[in-house]
Structure 1
């Protein structure tokens, strides 16, 4: 018996559906999770205390006092940091001359805003003090760890290093405090970890989990479009065949 075009169309649609079906399922499950999950909970915003502001009665020295102690080529930014009620200056600047094909290195330093004295990165005790000032009191702190490098799949990827990890058991979350900037940078909890895993499946970037323009995602998107298109073609082809048979 001679096989018509509908037979080949049906067979192509079947194998395309098999190839793309698992990824379609991953897109659907991840999409459901994204739409039904509170993004504030994913970011850990619900664990933050209301912000504390520096008192107007505090005496500040001019940032120029700090800048005169630095050997810099150009200034990136000067910001204030609240270290549990103590004001600090956070200064970012470029230093050193870049040769051809090289870039200037960005430096970050902290200074006491009341005395103008330069100071080193946050200590372990200061990191705990800062985190306790930002995280609600019901959180149970277990361990504190200093990190200077991380892998590509680490939950703190992209964050400034070095940093302090404060691990809490109740709830199950990690708070990351930048040692050089004196700030709580990121909060990572169970909701975020589920979100991050599903996001990886959703965009099909299994390396950095950030590249939404990778070729694997583009290829599967095209396959998905072809699969849906073949389904429509198969529907109209079989509909025409049934009418003709009648």
Structure 2
């Protein structure tokens, strides 16, 4: 193949790949600008989260041995047990597996009785207690399922989505089963999540950084860069002078 044909073929591939990849490079750049110019703590809603102080446990709390002995089977596997608070009351949160399924149960630390799941009113109160600013509730939704593109994806279900007005302007997700706030979601986070999907090119689940489409575009991008270098070499005067000599 002659030098002229190589240059023509390179220019053709470089031009078409440049148009296709240029769109994705623009999206990557826009995403990178947003990621680098925004405060990640504000995106996560850390500035809206109230620092909850867990009180020191009282001496007369029920021993976990009481309910561990009576409520769990020999085949159950206890993953963890923690002392926490739910609506300012001491509670034991027990994570365990039964028949290969991971479960969680709450116990009233004062009585040793099972603590029921949070009601809607309790979930709203939990969300309000965890919010660092005063804001009114605009909507409450009970989620039984969340799709792959939902902002609450990959977290415990069911859950209450408690949406607050300004100045919070955010949705607080509360797990009735866990008895706590799972996450905060604001408009800044939603923009971040959308740009992250464009950045990873995972249009199915948004979080897979090893998908085939991203790998293909990375390889095509490398090929486009190399073809640009080769065009410079083949068409530069310096290279032409050296070959003529």
* Residues 173 and 184, structure 2, Cα contact 8 Å, conserved in 1: yes
Aligned residue number for residue 219 of structure 1: 216
Aligned residue number for residue 109 of structure 2: 113
Q: Distance in 2 between matches of 1:31 and 1:116?
A: 51
Residue 135 of structure 1: how far off its partner (Å):
0.4
Aligned residue number for residue 96 of structure 2: 93
- CA deviation digits over 1:187-223, x for unaligned, max 9? 0001100000000000000011111110000000000
Q: Distance in 2 between matches of 1:52 and 1:114?
A: 19
Q: 2:130 aligns with which of 108, 127, 134?
A: 134
Give runs of ≥4 in structure 1 deviating > 2 Å: 2-5, 55-59, 137-140, 240-245
Structure 2 portions without partners, runs of 5+ = none
Structure 1 portions without partners, runs of 5+ = 97-103
What is the correspondence of 1:181-192 to structure 2 with a 5 Å cutoff?
181-192=178-189
- CA deviation digits over 1:123-160, x for unaligned, max 9? 11211221121102322211222212121111000010
* Residues 233 and 239, structure 2, Cα contact 8 Å, conserved in 1: no
- CA deviation digits over 1:153-200, x for unaligned, max 9? 110000101111101122321100111111111100011000000000
What is the correspondence of 1:1-246 to structure 2 with a 5 Å cutoff?
3-57=4-58, 59-72=60-73, 73-96=76-99, 104-170=100-166, 171-240=168-237, 244=241
* Residues 81 and 182, structure 1, Cα contact 8 Å, conserved in 2: no
Q: Distance in 2 between matches of 1:198 and 1:58?
A: 51
Question: Paired residues, what number?
Answer: 237
Residue 71 of structure 1: how far off its partner (Å):
2.8
Inter-CA distance 145–59: structure 2 relative to 1 (3 Å threshold): farther
- CA deviation digits over 1:52-100, x for unaligned, max 9? 222444632111122133233211111122223211111111223xxxx
Q: Distance in 2 between matches of 1:212 and 1:45?
A: 25
Inter-CA distance 107–57: structure 2 relative to 1 (3 Å threshold): closer
Q: Distance in 1 between matches of 2:29 and 2:234?
A: 28
- The alignment's TM-score, normalised by the length of structure 1, stands at 0.90
Q: Distance in 2 between matches of 1:177 and 1:158?
A: 14
Q: Distance in 1 between matches of 2:47 and 2:94?
A: 29
